[in-house]
Structure 1
Amino acid sequence: MSQPTLYTMLPAGPLSKCVLIPLYLLLLSSAAAAQQATSDSLQSLLRSHEKKDTARANLLNQVSRSYFTKDAVTAARYADEALHISDSLHYTKGKIWALRNLALVENTKGHLDQQMQLTLNALQLAEATGDPYTLGVLNNDVGNIFTELNSPRDALAYLKISLAIKLKRNEKTEIAKTLNNIGSAYISLKMYDSAMYFLQRAEKIKLALNDQKGLAFTYENMGIVALVQEHYEDALRYHRMSATYYKEAANLPGVVKASLNLAEVQIMLGNLKDADKNLDTAKALNDKLGNFKNEMIYYKIRYELDSARNDYVAAFDHYKEFSKRNIDFFNQEKGRQISRSEERYESEKKQRENILLKKEQHMHLATIQQQRVLVLSAAALFLALLLITVMVYRLYKRQQELYLELNNKNREVSMQNRIILEQNATLENLNQVKDKIFSVISHDLRSPLAILEGLLFLLKDEKIDAGQFRMYTDELWRDVKNTAYMMDNMLQWASNQMKGIGVKPDDFDVTLLLSREFDLLHTLARQKEVKLSHELNQSIFVYADPDMIRLVLRNLINNAIKFTPSGGEVMITAQQHNETAEITVKDNGTGIPLENQHRIFSNIYYSTTGTQNEKGCGLGLHLSKDFVERNQGQIWFNSMPGSGSSFSFTLPLSDDQDLNPRGYTVVVQDHPLGGVSLLRR
C-alpha cells in the first residue's frame, strides 16, 4: 500500500471537513503557483495592450484557457470579451477559440448540451477557414462530448476524423489526446481490449513527451477498465497516479473525478476510512464547481460506503438522494432524445416540402416553355392569315388545357399539403399524449418504485431487519396506493385522448356506489389521521355511467384527503333537486392558492404535493370534469387558502326514483386486524 496523502490522514469529523480544502490547496500550491505565474504574465501583457484589436482577442483567449480548470467564472468572463471583440472585427480565428473556451467552461459545470452547441458553432466556422490544426482539435472535442452523452458510436466518427488530421500533421501531443478519447469511447461500448490498446498507445506517447497533464486522463481511463475487470489493485494504482497528475496540474474537475474513483476502488478493497476522506474531498470541491453528474455519482458511492459499514439508515437516505438525481438525469436524457427526434422530424418535413416546391416549379417552367414554343410558332405562321387564325385558335385551346392542367395540379398540391398538415396535427397530439405518459412514468411512478426497490434490496440481503422495514410500510403503502390511483387516471386519460371513451349510462344508486369505495378511502384517511365521513343516508338513483362516476368520487375524495393535514376532516354530502342530484366533497385542508384556481379544470395539467408530500399526475380533476359533463352534469368548486375547499357536481336523477328504494346508515367499525366495516340497514 502506498503512503497516504495528507488529506486522507485527517481524522473523521467536522474539524476535518473544515480544514480539508485549505490543506488540499497546499498540496496544489506548487502547480497553482506555476499556473498563476503564467496567468499573471498573460494578464500583465493584457493590461499593457488595451487596444481592442486582434492581438488583444488572442491574449484574452490565452488567459481564458489558463483559468478554466481552476476558476470557470473568470475563464468565461475573458472568453466573452474575446468573442465580443472578435465579432466586432469579423476576426474568425478569435471567435473560434472564444467559443471553444466557453464550451470548456460549460463542461466543468456538466452542461453537455450547451458545450456541444458552442463546439459545433466553432467547428462550422473552422470548416470555412480550412485550418487543419483547428479542425483536428474541434473534431476531437465533439467526439469527446458524444462519449459523455453516451453516444460512443457517434463519438468514434468524429474522433477518427481528428486522428487522421493529426497523424498527417504528426502532432504528437494532439495525437495522444485523441488516442485517449478513442479509448474512452470503446470503454462506453464495453470493448475493453480495444480501449486498452488505444490507451496504451496514448500512454507511450505521453511518457515520451513527459506530458504529465495528459497522463492524468489516460491513467483515469485505465483505472476505469481495471475496476470493471475487477483488478482492484491495478485500478487503485492507476487512479492514484491520475489523482497525483491532476493535483500537479491544479485541475479541480479532474481531482473531483479522481477522488470519486479512488473512493469506489477503496470500498471494494475494504479501505473504508480512506474512501470516506476521498468522498469528502470530492463533495467539497464539486460544491464549488456545481457539476450535477458528479453530485449524482457522489451519492451513489456514498450509499455503497454506508452499506459496507452496515449503516443502512444512512444508506437508504443516500440511495434516495441518488435515485432523485438519477431520475432528473434520466429526464434530461429523455428530453435530449425527444429534441433530436423532433429535429429529425422537422428536417424530413422540410425535405418533403422542398420536393413539392421543386415539382411545382418544374410544372411552371414546363408551362412557360410550352407557351414560348407556341408563340414562336404563331409568329412564324403569321404570313398566312388563315393559317394564323387556325394557329391562334389552336393556341387558345392549348392554353386553356394547360391552365386547366395547372389548376388541377395546384389543387392536388393543396390537397397534399392539407393532408400533411392534418397528419402533423395528429402526430403532435400523439406526441403530447406520449410525452405526458413518459413524464408520469419517469418522474411520478419511478420515484416510489425506486424507493421500494431500495428497501426490498436491503431486506433481501438481510441488511435491514423486519422491525426497521415496518417503520416504512405505512408510508410505502400510501405511496403505492397513490401510484395505483395515478396509473388509473393516466390510463383513463390516455384512452380518452387516443381513441375516446364511450359513455354507458344506466340507473344506479350513487349511495351504494360510494359505500363500495368508502372502505379503501377510509383506510387512506385513517393513516393520515383525517376524519372521513358522509351523510348519504338514503338511496339516490341517478342516470349516468357508474364507472365514470366511481372515478370522479374517488378522485375528489382522494384529493381532499391529500390536501388535509392530520386532525382535519373530509365530509361528503348530497342534495336532491327537481331533476338533479348534487354531491359535495368538503374539507378543511390547505385550500387552493388564488393564483392557481383558474388552472384547476383547464387543459393545463396542474399538480402539487400533498400535506405529506403525496404526488399526483395532474389528470384527476381534468378527467373528473370531462366525465361529469359527458354525463349531462356540471362541476364546480369553492376554495379559500388555509380554510379548505369544497368540490360539487350534479348528475341527472333517474326517471324512476322508486327503483328498489332502501335506506342506508353507515356504521364504521374498527376490526381487530385493522380496516373498517360498512353496515347497511
Structure 2
Amino acid sequence: MRVQFFLYLVLTCIFSFRVNLGFTMPPTNPADSLQQALYTHAQRDTVRVQLLNKLGRVYFTSDPGKTTLYATEALRLSDSLQYVEGTILATRNLALVENTRGNLDKQMDMTLSALRLAEKNGQLHMTGILNNDIGNILIEQNNPVQALPYLKHSLKIKKQLNEQTEIAKTLNNIGSCYMQLQKLDSALYFLRESERLKLSMGNTQGLGFTYENMGLIYMQKGEYETSQQYLEKSMGYYKAAENQAGIGKTWLNLAKVNTLLQHYAIAAGQLEEAARVNVSQKNAKNEMIYYQYLAQLDSSRGDYITALRHYNTYTSLKEKYFAVEKALSIANTREKYESEKRQRENHLLKAAQQIHLSTIHQQRILVAVCAFLLLILLVITVMLYRLYKRQQELYRQLNSKNEEVSQQNRIIMEQNVKLGSLNQVKDKIFSVISHDLRSPLAILEGMLFLLRDRKMSTEEFRTFADDLWRDMKNTAYMMDNLLNWASSQMKGIRIKPDEFEFTGMVRREIELLQSLARQKEVTLTHHLQQPVTVFADPDMMKLVLRNLISNAIKFTPGGGNIEVLAHIKGTYLEICVQDNGVGIPDKDQHKVFSNIYYSMPGTRHEKGCGLGLPLSKDFVELNKGAIWFHSEPGVTSFCFTIPLSEEDANQQGHLARKKKLIS
C-alpha cells in the first residue's frame, strides 16, 4: 500500500508538471500585471473599479481574503461614482467569497441583489452570468429542480451573445444538475459538450470542474478506475489554477474512490491532504464530509471503534452545520427586514424634512413681502389673508402626510404579523423534522449501517423489518400532513370540487391501510355496499379518510376492531370511523381540532405531528361539511359529512317526498 501511495504521488506530480508545461495557464501571472496596473493608476475612476474587480475575480479561488478587500473597495468606489456595472461585479465577487466559506444562503442573497440590478439596467451579459451563479448555488443546496430553469435561461442568453467560454461553464453546471437528478447519461452528454468547447478554445482553466463532475458520475456508476482517472485530471487542473476549494473537494473524492478500490493507504493520505487544504479554507461542509469519509475508510479497514468515533464526529458536525445554516437564514431574514424598515424610515424623514424646509422657505418669503408692503394698509390686509390661506393649505398637506405615515405604519404592522405567522410555520416545520421525522430515519440509517458492515445478520434485520416498515409508513403519512399543512398556511388552500364515487375511494384507502392494520393485529372493515356519488375535492377527502383510519389504527391495541360506517342524511353523506381503542382523555378533547397541534404516542409508541385532525377539519369545512367526534374508554368514533352529488341529492329528495305522500 505504501508503494502504491508513493507511485500515486509521483504520477500526480508528473501530471501537474505536464499541465503547467503545455495544457493550462501561461507562464505569466495575470495577478502581478493587474496589481502593477492598479498601483500605477491611483485615480479614483471607473478604470480603477475595473482593475479592482478583475483582481478580486483572480484571487477568489486561491486567496478569498484578498478578494474581499478588492471587492469591498470596488463596491464603495462604484457607489460613489454611480457606476452600475462595477457595483454588479463587486457584489458578485463578494458572493463568490461566501461560497468558498460555505455560506450559500448569504451568497444567494447577494447574487439575487446583483441580478436584479443587472436586469434593471439591461446588463444582458451579467444577467446570463448571474443566472448561472444562482443555478450553481441551488445545485450546491441539492435543489436541481429549481436550478435547471436558471441554468437554461443563462444558456439561452449566452448563446444569444455567442459567449463560448460562458456557454461551456453553463453546460458544465447543467451536467451537475442532471447528475443530482440521477440522469447520469444526460449529465455526461452536457459535461462532454462543455469539455469539447473548453478544449477547442484552449480554456483549460475550467476543465477541473468538468472532470471532477465526470469522476463523480463514474463513481455513481461503479466504474471506480475510470472515476479515479477523471478525478486525477481534475486535480491537475485545479492545482494549475491554484483553486484551493477545488483541490480540497477533489482530495476528498479521490479518497472515497480509493476506499472503494480498497487502496486504503492511498485514501488515508488523500484525506490528510484534504484536511490540510481545509485549514486555510475553513469550509464547514468539507470538514463534515472529511469525517464521513474517514469513518467509511476505518470501517472498510475493520477498525470499527475508530469508525464509530469518526462517524459520531461527522454526525455532530452535520447537526452543527445545519444549525448554523438555520441561524444564518434567520439572521439574513432579520437583516433584510431591518434594512427595509430603515429605508422606509429614511424616506419618511426625508419627506418630513422637505415639508419643513418648504414651510420655512414660504414663511421667509411672506415675512419679506409683509415688511415691504407695511406702508399700504390695504395691501397688508390682502397679504395677511393670503398668508392665512397658505398656512391652511400647508396644514392640510401636513395632515395628509401624517395620514400617509399612519397608513404606512399600519402596513408595516400587518407585514410584521405576516412575518410572525410565517416564522411560526417555519418553526413548526423545523420542530417536526428535527424531533419526529429525524428519529425513525436515524434508526433506519443506523441499522443499514450495521447491515452494510455485516455487524448484523439478515435474520436479525428481518426481526426489525416490520417495526421499521410501520415506523416509515407512519413517517410518510406524517410528512403528507406536514406538507399539506405547510402549503395551506403559506399559500392558502385551493379546493377543486368534483363529482366522484365515494364507496370506491373508501375501499381503496382501506386496502392501502390493511397491511398497517395487520401489523398491529387490528381488524379493519367497512359497511359500504352501494355506490354513492358525492361532490367534493377527491384529494382532500382521501387525506381526511386516511388520517381518521390511520389514527384509529394508531390508538387501537392488538385484537381491536375498526369499522367504517356511512349513512345518507338528507343531501349529505355521513361517514364514521369507529374503534374500540384507548380513547381520548376528557381533559384533552378540546385540543383535538384546535391549533394547539395536540399529539400523543400510539399503543405501540407511534409518533405524530398533531396536524392531521386540524387539517382534516379544514378540508371537511371547505367542502361544506362538518366534522365531530365522540370518545370514551373502549369506544371512539370520528364522523364527518360531505354533500351528495346533485343527481344523488335529487334522488334522495324525491324518495323523501314520496314517503311523505304515502304516509
TM-score (norm 1): 0.50
Aligned to 1:468: none
Question: Which of residues 62, 65, 88 is equivalent to 1:70?
Answer: 62
Question: Which of residues 239, 255, 262 is equivalent to 2:254?
Answer: 262
Change (3 A) 1:58 1:301: same
In the TM superposition, what is the alpha-carbon distance from 1:249 to its structure 2 partner? 1.2
Aligned to 1:117, what secondary structure does the other structure show?
Answer: helix
Query: Conserved in 2, the CA contact under 8 Å of 1:42 and 1:59?
Result: yes
Change (3 A) 1:26 1:450: farther
Aligned to 1:283: 275
**2:431 counterpart of 1:437:** yes
Query: Conserved in 2, the CA contact under 8 Å of 1:279 and 1:302?
Result: yes
Aligned to 1:114: 106
Give the Cα separation in 1 of the matches to 2:231 and 2:257. 9
Question: Which of residues 310, 319, 325 is equivalent to 2:311?
Answer: 319
Aligned to 1:135: 127
Query: Conserved in 2, the CA contact under 8 Å of 1:143 and 1:155?
Result: yes
Give the Cα separation in 2 of the matches to 1:157 and 1:148. 15
In the TM superposition, what is the alpha-carbon distance from 1:211 to its structure 2 partner? 2.1
Aligned to 1:178: 170
Change (3 A) 1:80 1:35: farther
**2:264 counterpart of 1:272:** yes
Change (3 A) 1:164 1:23: closer
Give the Cα separation in 1 of the matches to 2:101 and 2:270. 20
Deviations 1:352-403 (A, max 9, x none): xxxxxxxxxxxxxxxxxxxxxxxxxxxxxxxxxxxxxxxxxxxxxxxxxxxx
Change (3 A) 1:285 1:451: farther
Give the Cα separation in 2 of the matches to 1:32 and 1:285. 22
Deviations 1:444-498 (A, max 9, x none): x859x95996599448845599xxxxxxxxxxxxxxxxxxxxxxxxxxxxxxxxx
Residues 377-526 of structure 1: pairs in structure 2 closer than 5 A? 427=421, 431=425, 434=428, 437-438=431-432, 441=435, 454=446, 457-458=449-450, 461-463=453-455
Query: Conserved in 2, the CA contact under 8 Å of 1:7 and 1:24?
Result: no
Aligned to 2:116: 124
Task: Return the letter of the residue paired with 1:290.
Answer: K
In the TM superposition, what is the alpha-carbon distance from 1:104 to its structure 2 partner? 1.1
Aligned to 2:56, what secondary structure does the other structure show?
Answer: helix
Task: Return the letter of the residue paired with 2:261.
Answer: L
Aligned to 1:130, what secondary structure does the other structure show?
Answer: coil
Task: Return the letter of the residue paired with 1:195.
Answer: A
Task: Return the letter of the residue paired with 2:294.
Answer: R
**Count of aligned pairs between the two proteins:** 383
Change (3 A) 1:7 1:57: farther
Aligned to 1:476: none
Query: Conserved in 2, the CA contact under 8 Å of 1:316 and 1:454?
Result: no
Which deviates more, 128-137 or 55-64? 128-137
Question: What residue ranges of structure 2 are gaps of 5+ in the alignment?
Answer: 338-406, 458-663
Aligned to 2:213: 221
Change (3 A) 1:337 1:285: closer
Give the Cα separation in 1 of the matches to 2:7 and 2:69. 32
Residues 157-172 of structure 1: pairs in structure 2 closer than 5 A? 157-172=149-164
**2:80 counterpart of 1:88:** yes
Aligned to 2:185: 193
Task: Return the letter of the residue paired with 1:59.
Answer: L
In the TM superposition, what is the alpha-carbon distance from 1:340 to its structure 2 partner? 11
**2:51 counterpart of 1:59:** yes
Give the Cα separation in 2 of the matches to 1:103 and 1:230. 35
**2:137 counterpart of 1:145:** yes
In the TM superposition, what is the alpha-carbon distance from 1:212 to its structure 2 partner? 1.7
Aligned to 1:292: 284
Aligned to 1:207: 199
Aligned to 1:240, what secondary structure does the other structure show?
Answer: helix
Query: Conserved in 1, the CA contact under 8 Å of 2:55 and 2:70?
Result: yes
Which deviates more, 307-316 or 31-40? 31-40
Aligned to 1:509: none
Change (3 A) 1:433 1:224: closer
Give identity over the alignment, percent: 43
In the TM superposition, what is the alpha-carbon distance from 1:142 to its structure 2 partner? 1.0
Aligned to 2:29, what secondary structure does the other structure show?
Answer: helix
Aligned to 1:239: 231
Aligned to 2:61, what secondary structure does the other structure show?
Answer: coil
Aligned to 1:645: none
Change (3 A) 1:442 1:320: farther
Which one has a larger percent helix, Structure 1 or Structure 2? 2
Question: What residue ranges of structure 1 are gaps of 5+ in the alignment?
Answer: 11-19, 346-412, 466-681
Deviations 1:235-271 (A, max 9, x none): 1111111111111111111111111111111111111
Task: Return the letter of the residue paired with 1:257.
Answer: K
Change (3 A) 1:58 1:91: same
Task: Return the letter of the residue paired with 1:196.
Answer: L
In the TM superposition, what is the alpha-carbon distance from 1:138 to its structure 2 partner? 1.1
Give the Cα separation in 1 of the matches to 2:15 and 2:199. 26
In the TM superposition, what is the alpha-carbon distance from 1:86 to its structure 2 partner? 0.6
In the TM superposition, what is the alpha-carbon distance from 1:102 to its structure 2 partner? 0.8
**Alignment RMSD (CA, Å):** 4.3
Aligned to 1:625: none
Aligned to 1:50, what secondary structure does the other structure show?
Answer: coil
Aligned to 1:116, what secondary structure does the other structure show?
Answer: helix
Give the Cα separation in 2 of the matches to 1:32 and 1:331. 40
In the TM superposition, what is the alpha-carbon distance from 1:335 to its structure 2 partner? 6.5
Task: Return the letter of the residue paired with 1:108.
Answer: T
Aligned to 2:481: none
Task: Return the letter of the residue paired with 1:220.
Answer: E
In the TM superposition, what is the alpha-carbon distance from 1:87 to its structure 2 partner? 0.7
Give the Cα separation in 1 of the matches to 2:136 and 2:419. 38
Change (3 A) 1:300 1:231: same
Aligned to 1:546: none
Query: Conserved in 1, the CA contact under 8 Å of 2:16 and 2:240?
Result: no
Give the Cα separation in 2 of the matches to 1:37 and 1:56. 19
Change (3 A) 1:194 1:40: same
Give the Cα separation in 1 of the matches to 2:65 and 2:333. 34
Change (3 A) 1:127 1:207: same
In the TM superposition, what is the alpha-carbon distance from 1:213 to its structure 2 partner? 1.5
Task: Return the letter of the residue paired with 2:293.
Answer: I
Query: Conserved in 2, the CA contact under 8 Å of 1:327 and 1:442?
Result: no
Query: Conserved in 2, the CA contact under 8 Å of 1:28 and 1:250?
Result: no
In the TM superposition, what is the alpha-carbon distance from 1:132 to its structure 2 partner? 2.1
Change (3 A) 1:281 1:36: farther
Give the Cα separation in 2 of the matches to 1:240 and 1:256. 13
Give the Cα separation in 2 of the matches to 1:456 and 1:151. 25
